[in-house]
């Protein structure tokens, strides 16, 4: 359900006289400036996967990745160099995956202690592409990604591997941490694999599975597909897929509650399949090719729009048995999560424009779990799409808080405490902004909305404006 920005403004105004996700940081005494410094979203998402090789004694070892446009150094295209799509900015990027023979000793080391020094390099794979955008704003977007993949053919064994990346025209190479894994023959795997995808297409029997390419992450609030390899699949056995919300401590992961359960039917099963990884036009796809010596996969649609923003455990078991054919952990990722939602304290304080002090005091009292529950309930009552976990109204409100901080903060006032910040948070972006410079008197700025205008008068030469009339 799509809710317009104008409707958000009307809803917010109606609450003046307004489910927190588990992404919220459980820290107290943080202010907004701390969050601005602390917030570091990953610019590169990488998933390493094993796929069937051309023979039973080989596998395809692949790296699938997505790189945020915000992380790339874009340059403006000269007019003569613009493409047919009329792109204005470009940024070349390249990746290299190198694989080394490793040992049991290397496998047992902690990741931070692993080095490829003195290891034998046995395989390399290269990828190169160029990201294009039409506007400068797109070059700064957290939601725009360039995606790609690389793969090498390996025999069963122990391997260390590393990624190298070059951005733009820079000759400086950036390295990932070294990882070490034991690679098994696909047919000898006792635990199956899970691949996350955004859509599936079937054209004339040619089935393609578009990968999410977000590492072991799925996008918060959006349904997705899970393609699950079931080792030693038995046609006469029923299988059940279950997804749990989990809670992580330092040394353990605990299943908190069951969110989803489905009996895998024959309609979900693809037998005699050999997935082949291909990249092109900004997407990574698995082509599910038929092969009489192939493998069995279950394809299940996951209703992630009803899941909280947290971590999960996916299991596939033989029905009425504790035997796990598949187990995989993943987490939900809210790519453009408003910064002001990263602290429960800050999020509650920012309600100052839409509720009274008594309500804020009530939400601020109690333990972290109690405060989070009350905050969820507060926003849950105003959710325009209550059947989904994603609360559009809450997200829009806190985006406005972020915008107010970034655009109206001056040496004298924090943006969300300014008159312009307050109006923006309550009513959203104006339809028009007009600035006047009288020959006598202060600069005046007029914000126009459908049913009213707000007039602001400059109080200093540093961007401070005071609401003059409404």
Task: Indicate the helix (H) or strand (E) that contains 138.
Answer: helix 136-139
At 359, the pLDDT band (50, 70, 90 cuts) reads: very high
- Could you read off the pLDDT of 176-197 as tens digits, one per residue? 888 899 999 998 888 899 999 9
Who wins on pLDDT, 343 or 223? 223
Based on the domain organization, do 220 and 107 belong to the same domain? no
In a domain, 439, yes or no: no
Based on the domain organization, do 31 and 57 belong to the same domain? no
In a domain, 454, yes or no: no
Q: Which residues contact 33 (CB under 8 A, 6 or more apart)?
A: none
Confidence at residue 33, expressed as pLDDT on a 0 to 100 scale:
64
Based on the domain organization, do 211 and 124 belong to the same domain? no
> Which of 202-206, 237-241, 296-300, 356-360 has the least mean pLDDT?
202-206
Whether 38 and 327 have beta carbons less than 8 Å apart is answered as no
Based on the domain organization, do 316 and 200 belong to the same domain? yes
- Could you read off the pLDDT of 309-338 as tens digits, one per residue? 889 999 999 887 888 889 999 999 888 888
CB-CB neighbours of 59 under 10 Å: 25
Confidence at residue 39, expressed as pLDDT on a 0 to 100 scale:
54
Mean pLDDT along residues 203-217:
87
Based on the domain organization, do 311 and 212 belong to the same domain? yes
Confidence at residue 469, expressed as pLDDT on a 0 to 100 scale:
67
- Could you read off the pLDDT of 128-144 as tens digits, one per residue? 999 999 888 888 887 88
Based on the domain organization, do 320 and 350 belong to the same domain? no
- For residues 336 and 386, what is the distance between their CA atoms, to the nearest angstrom? 21
- Could you read off the pLDDT of 94-112 as tens digits, one per residue? 999 999 999 888 888 765 6
Confidence at residue 10, expressed as pLDDT on a 0 to 100 scale:
47
Confidence at residue 24, expressed as pLDDT on a 0 to 100 scale:
46
Q: Which domain holds residue 64?
A: 42-186
In a domain, 129, yes or no: yes
Based on the domain organization, do 295 and 379 belong to the same domain? no
Based on the domain organization, do 160 and 180 belong to the same domain? yes
Backbone dihedral angles phi then psi of residue 255, each to the nearest 5 degrees: -75, 125
Confidence at residue 252, expressed as pLDDT on a 0 to 100 scale:
77
Confidence at residue 113, expressed as pLDDT on a 0 to 100 scale:
62
Based on the domain organization, do 230 and 307 belong to the same domain? yes
Based on the domain organization, do 292 and 232 belong to the same domain? yes
Who wins on pLDDT, 157 or 35? 157
Radius of gyration of the chain (CA): 26
Share of the chain above pLDDT 90, in %: 49
Task: Indicate the helix (H) or strand (E) that contains 208.
Answer: strand 206-211
Confidence at residue 287, expressed as pLDDT on a 0 to 100 scale:
93
Share of the chain above pLDDT 70, in %: 88
Give yes or no for residue 14 having a pLDDT over 50: no
pTM passes above 0.95: no
In a domain, 435, yes or no: no
**Could you say which of 170, 186, 202 is where a domain stops?**
186
- Could you read off the pLDDT of 35-77 as tens digits, one per residue? 655 555 678 899 999 999 988 889 999 999 999 998 899 998 8
Based on the domain organization, do 257 and 346 belong to the same domain? no
In a domain, 61, yes or no: yes
CB-CB neighbours of 451 under 10 Å: 4
In a domain, 121, yes or no: yes
Who wins on pLDDT, 3 or 374? 374
Based on the domain organization, do 291 and 395 belong to the same domain? no
Confidence at residue 40, expressed as pLDDT on a 0 to 100 scale:
56
- For residues 97 and 221, what is the distance between their CA atoms, to the nearest angstrom? 32
At 169, the pLDDT band (50, 70, 90 cuts) reads: confident
Q: Is 268 exposed, middle or buried (0-12, 13-18, 19+ CB in 10 A)?
A: middle
For the chain, how many structural domains are there in total? 3
In a domain, 464, yes or no: no
> Which of 11-15, 167-171, 216-220, 267-271 has the least mean pLDDT?
11-15
In a domain, 444, yes or no: no
- For residues 8 and 134, what is the distance between their CA atoms, to the nearest angstrom? 28
CATH of the domain at 175: 2.60.40.10
Closest CA to 290 of 302, 272, 304, 308: 272
**Could you say which of 291, 318, 334 is where a domain stops?**
334
Helices (H), 224-327: none
Give yes or no for residue 249 having a pLDDT over 80: no
**Could you say which of 279, 300, 334 is where a domain stops?**
334
């Amino acid at each position: 359900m799509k809710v317009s920005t104008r409707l958000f403004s009307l809803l917010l105004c109606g609450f003046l006289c307004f489910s927190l996700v588990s992404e919220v940081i459980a820290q107290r005494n943080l202010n907004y400036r701390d969050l601005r410094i602390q917030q570091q979203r990953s610019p590169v998402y990488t998933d390493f996967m094993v796929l069937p090789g051309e023979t039973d004694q080989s596998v395809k070892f692949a790296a699938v990745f997505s790189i945020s446009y915000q992380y790339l150094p874009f340059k403006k295209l000269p007019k003569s160099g613009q493409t047919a799509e009329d792109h204005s900015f470009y940024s070349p990027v390249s990746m290299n995956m190198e694989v080394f023979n490793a040992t049991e000793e290397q496998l047992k080391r902690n990741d931070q202690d692993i080095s490829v020094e003195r290891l034998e390099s046995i395989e390399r794979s290269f990828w190169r592409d160029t990201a294009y955008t039409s506007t400068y704003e797109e070059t700064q977007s957290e939601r725009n990604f360039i995606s790609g993949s690389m793969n090498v053919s390996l025999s069963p064994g122990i391997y260390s591997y590393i990624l190298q990346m070059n951005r733009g025209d820079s000759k400086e190479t950036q390295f990932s941490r070294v990882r070490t894994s034991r690679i098994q023959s696909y047919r000898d795997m006792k635990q199956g694999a899970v691949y996350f995808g955004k859509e599936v297409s079937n054209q004339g029997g040619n089935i393609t599975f578009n990968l999410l390419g977000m590492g072991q992450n799925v996008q918060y609030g959006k349904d997705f597909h899970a393609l699950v390899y079931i080792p030693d699949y038995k046609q006469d056995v029923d299988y059940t897929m279950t997804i749990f919300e989990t809670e992580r401590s330092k040394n353990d992961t605990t299943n908190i509650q069951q969110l989803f359960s489905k009996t895998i039917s024959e309609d979900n099963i693809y037998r005699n399949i050999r997935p082949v990884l291909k990249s092109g036009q900004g997407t990574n796809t698995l082509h599910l090719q038929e092969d009489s010596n192939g493998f069995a996969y279950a394809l299940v649609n996951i209703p992630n729009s009803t899941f909280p923003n947290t971590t999960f455990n996916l299991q596939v078991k033989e029905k009425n048995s504790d035997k796990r054919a598949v187990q995989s952990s993943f987490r939900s990722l809210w790519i453009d999560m408003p910064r002001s939602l990263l602290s429960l304290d800050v999020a509650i304080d920012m309600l100052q424009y839409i509720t009274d002090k008594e309500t804020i005091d009530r939400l601020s009292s109690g333990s972290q779990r109690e405060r989070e529950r009350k905050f969820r309930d507060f926003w849950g009552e105003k959710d325009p799409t209550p059947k989904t976990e994603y609360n559009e109204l809450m997200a829009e409100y806190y985006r406005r808080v972020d915008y107010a901080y970034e655009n109206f903060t001056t040496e004298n006032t924090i943006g969300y405490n300014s008159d312009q910040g307050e109006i923006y948070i309550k009513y959203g972006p104006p339809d028009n902004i007009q600035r006047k410079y009288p020959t006598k008197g202060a600069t005046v700025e007029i914000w126009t909305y459908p049913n009213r205008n707000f007039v602001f008068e400059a109080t200093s030469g540093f961007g401070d404006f005071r609401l003059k009339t409404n």
